[in-house]
Amino acid sequence: MATVNLIDELQRPVPFSGQDVPDDDLLRACVHCGMCLPTCPTYRETGDEASSPRGRLWLMGAVAEGRLSLLDEDFGEQMYQCLNCRACEAVCPSGVQYGPLVEASRAQLEQHRSRPWWQNVLRSSVMSWPFNNVRLMRGGAVGLRLYQQIGLGSFLRKTGILRLLRLENLERMVPPIAESPISPGHDTWTPDHRLADAHLFNGCVMSSVFPDVNRATGRVLAHNGYATDVPIGQGCCGAIYSHTGMLDDARRLARANIDAFEHAGSGPVVCNAAGCGSALKEYGHLLKDDPIYADRARTFAERVVDVNELLDQQPLVPPTKTVDLTVTLQEPCHLAHAQRISAQPRSLLRQIPGLNLVEMHESSLCCGSAGIYNITRPQMADVLGDRKARNAMATGAGTVITSNPGCHMQLRTSLLRNGSEQEVEHIVTILDEAYGGKKAERWAIDAR
């Protein structure tokens, strides 16, 4: 009898338990209407119901109700096959908050599922080294910039060493690093006619791989009356950790950022990376159970504004230069779907003299970047990247505009793989060019 009871116990489905259990009320909000199906990148590629938001919510509900085990292989596969692009949220008539549910489900998997030792080592080193200590990432960017300048990459590609080490695709993702990294506390931009103060969220990848975009952001904000600084004490936004189920790490980084921007004083927290902005705006939910930070997190989240959103609150100060380019717009998922910012980038681009905007088919369909998805699941990421590249190429535009570093790198790689010579630029660099770029930086106090 005892043996039978033990067998029953071992076969009983493992339920959600402990910290970060998916909210039952959020789960019940889904009425399984299917409106989400056409918007889901993985469903569109596979045609599999389980690979849709509706299907994944059904799986979550089955675990919550004890009909399916948390450790079921299909459950884990579907939670991580999802790109968490949030396109389903934007069209859901019931207002289902899908993002927090899939992140909580992944957190449950990380708490209860064992991984092979090599995955734990790789996950710990890749996730902890660069994002926990942004200074190390910036140091790595300095080395990578030197690597690019001396042409070492070309040599390693010709010899086949990068292919042998399976680093060829990863190396191709990184654009030329144009400037030295930005460290908080060193760069400020003060306009002649100061209308308001603003604080730039520096980020980890943005401050290291795209420091030129951050500096361009400061200049464009200054042209539009914002005295902008880069507050000390800030770090990674934590989005990478939230997306991979490491919510305690995300909360730790969130607390540090809240402290840093509270110390910096009042004024909007301006973000130029869609994924970071979405994560910052959701600190209220992330820290809702923290007795010390819950209210502060909500207040902080209300201060966060995407640079497209801020600049479009009133007409731009008229740009002084003509930019003779034909461009197309790729909409990052966490800008268009999570933050619902879609009209503003188009409005800004149309105010640039000489610029011709050509709309792209499926401009807001995920490009396959999705944090580190293009590293952990390269096959699906490449399928989506190729789809995006073909749509961009069909426009005939010479430049693809985006507002997120992951999208920037994914687009660059996908376009190259498909034989396209289209450039990829952040919207802020185009705006900066319209104001004269670095040559117009008469008001910048630059300590670098």
User: Would 19 be classed as within a structural domain?
Assistant: yes
Indicate if 375 and 302 belong to the same structural domain. no
- CATH number for position 425: 3.40.50
Indicate if 54 and 139 belong to the same structural domain. no
Contacts of 142 (CB under 8 A, 6+ apart): 180, 181
User: Would 333 be classed as within a structural domain?
Assistant: yes
Indicate if 63 and 26 belong to the same structural domain. yes
- 327 DSSP β-pair partners: 357, 399
Largest separation between any pair of C-alpha atoms in the chain: 85
Structural domain total, the chain: 4
User: Would 64 be classed as within a structural domain?
Assistant: yes
Indicate if 197 and 147 belong to the same structural domain. no
- CATH number for position 80: 1.10.1060.10
Contacts of 26 (CB under 8 A, 6+ apart): 96, 97, 100, 101
**Enclosing domain of residue 167:** 125-173
Indicate if 335 and 298 belong to the same structural domain. no
Q: What is the SS3 assignment for 159?
A: helix
Backbone φ, ψ for residue 187 (5° rounding): -115, 130
User: Would 38 be classed as within a structural domain?
Assistant: yes
DSSP 8-state class, residue 381 = H
Question: Has this prediction a pTM greater than 0.85?
Answer: yes
Contacts of 122 (CB under 8 A, 6+ apart): none
User: Would 369 be classed as within a structural domain?
Assistant: yes
**Which strands form 226-229's sheet, in the order they lie side by side?**
304-306, 269-271, 196-200, 226-229, 187-189, 444-446
Indicate if 388 and 299 belong to the same structural domain. no
Indicate if 98 and 155 belong to the same structural domain. no
Indicate the residue among 272, 289, 312 that finishes a domain: 312
pLDDT tens for each residue of the chain, 448 residues long: 444 443 444 467 899 998 999 999 999 999 999 999 999 999 999 999 999 999 999 999 999 999 999 999 999 999 999 999 999 999 999 999 999 999 999 999 999 988 777 666 666 666 666 677 777 777 777 777 887 777 777 777 777 776 776 667 777 777 888 888 898 888 999 998 889 999 999 999 999 999 999 999 999 999 999 999 999 999 999 999 999 899 999 999 999 999 999 999 999 999 999 999 999 999 999 999 999 999 999 999 999 999 999 999 999 999 999 999 999 999 999 999 999 999 999 999 999 999 999 999 999 999 999 888 888 899 999 999 999 999 999 999 999 999 999 999 999 999 999 999 999 999 999 999 999 988 765 544 443 3
Indicate if 37 and 154 belong to the same structural domain. no
H runs (alpha helix) in 304-372? 307-311, 333-336, 343-349
Q: How many residues does the chain have?
A: 448
Q: What is the SS3 assignment for 342?
A: coil
Beta 399-402 vs 326-329: how paired, if at all?
Answer: parallel
